[in-house]
Amino acid sequence: MELAIRRQLVPRLIGAVPRAGWVALAALGLVAFVILPALHLLAPAGSRLHVSAYVITVGGKIMCYAIVAVALDLIWGYGGILSLGHGLFFALGGYAFGMYLMRSIGREGVYQADLPDFMVFLDWKSLPWYWRGTDHAPWAFLLVVAVPALLALVFGLFAFRSRIRGVYFSIITQALTFAAMLFFFRNETGFGGNNGFTDFKRIMGFSVTAPSTRVVLFVLTAAMLAATLVATRYLVRSKFGRILTAIRDSESRVMFLGYDPLPYKLFAWTVSAVLCAVAGALYVPQVGIINPSEMSPGNSIEIAIWVAVGGRGTLVGAVVGAALVNLAKSWFTAAFPEYWLFFLGLLFILVTRFMPEGVVGLGRRLLGGRPA
């Protein structure tokens, strides 16, 4: 039985994505797996073809954001659940993997102690219990997935069971991430207070700053993004996805038809949270820092605008939106730092007001294609 499912899964996955999608994914793969790494590692630093470390880092960062955007699109675009707290899951994944990175510093910290620097600074004598085992990468990977999944599962169970939805749900997720941010800001929590984790040295024995390590992380992120797109596409095209969409459109009717919406919403919600956490874990070694401001309500709500700009309910739109908004942010904060907030604010207003289907929806309409 299991074998049969496995045999069916591959063709189903292939069938889930249209041919144009596979072409696009192949192009992405070619660029991310071959061309950019080659140009970064092989082309000499002075040449015109050289891709700088900055580009690799920004590219990796944006792909992490894109995974988060796809995760949010899964629940918002298809489930009608707008989370304003997805930054929390992202940060939790980042913190879980950050613990491993902190332990990998070993005795090379400022105080040259066995404990991470911030613990020495707080005059702690031993690791708190929840840090146990974090020096082993597999345990850290497990934490990256398990902690956010558990939190999402418990929170989702409570929220969906009492049929909290719409703006109520959004507000409560915002409160959740806000509370978590305050919690992580405390020094006593044991996650470095408002400085968070930084000054990483090594990852699985390789230097985090080495070009080859960066390229590997970049390639891994690209692979994760591609896998996320294929998997979520498969998910939303399946029967599960159709019921999820039906719940979005009219939860009561779905209930009257005899379905219990709870497991569908809960599953989508938890998958979404785990995807965010994995993105966070990939993000931290590339950016080199994780701190509680990642959990600020503002950050989480920004994720929603990536999805809205790209076009919700179109998974590829989330990627496009995350890339567009973040490239614009990089450019604005360098060129006109004081106007970035104006731009972002107007983006929120204008996109929701005039472009409810986002860039992808607009493109489809201009090309005369049928709406998704």
For position 179 contacting other proteins by CB under 8 A, the verdict is yes
- Residues 105/266, Cβ–Cβ less than 8 Å: no
Which residue, 222 or 295, is less far from other proteins as judged by CB?
Answer: 295
For position 337 contacting other proteins by CB under 8 A, the verdict is no
What is the torsional sign of CA 188, 142, 153, 237? positive
Tally of residues, the chain: 372
For position 257 contacting other proteins by CB under 8 A, the verdict is no
Q: Is 207 helix (H, G, I), strand (E, B) or coil?
A: strand
- Pair of tokens at residue 8: 């069916």
For position 176 contacting other proteins by CB under 8 A, the verdict is yes
Among 210, 356, 365, 372, indicate the residue that binds other proteins (CB under 8 A): 356
Which residue, 110 or 154, is less far from other proteins as judged by CB?
Answer: 154
For position 345 contacting other proteins by CB under 8 A, the verdict is yes
Distances (CA, A) of 262 to 80, 108, 219, 248, 258: 13, 49, 36, 12, 12
For position 167 contacting other proteins by CB under 8 A, the verdict is yes
| Location of structure tokens 């700088």 | 52
Among 298, 333, 365, 372, indicate the residue that binds other proteins (CB under 8 A): 298
For position 30 contacting other proteins by CB under 8 A, the verdict is no
| Pairing status of strand 289-290 against strand 197-198 | antiparallel
Which residue, 117 or 357, is less far from other proteins as judged by CB?
Answer: 357
Among 353, 367, 368, 371, indicate the residue that binds other proteins (CB under 8 A): 353
Query: What is the H or E stretch that residue 9 is in?
Result: helix 2-16
For position 183 contacting other proteins by CB under 8 A, the verdict is yes
| Pairing status of strand 206-207 against strand 202-203 | antiparallel
Query: Among 273, 321, 297, which Cα is nearest to 171's?
Result: 297
For position 297 contacting other proteins by CB under 8 A, the verdict is yes
- Chain residues binding other proteins by CB under 8 A are 76, 80, 82, 84, 155, 158-159, 161-164, 166-168, 170-172, 174-176, 178-179, 182-183, 185-186, 250-253, 297-298, 301, 304-305, 308, 338-339, 341-342, 344-349, 352-353, 356
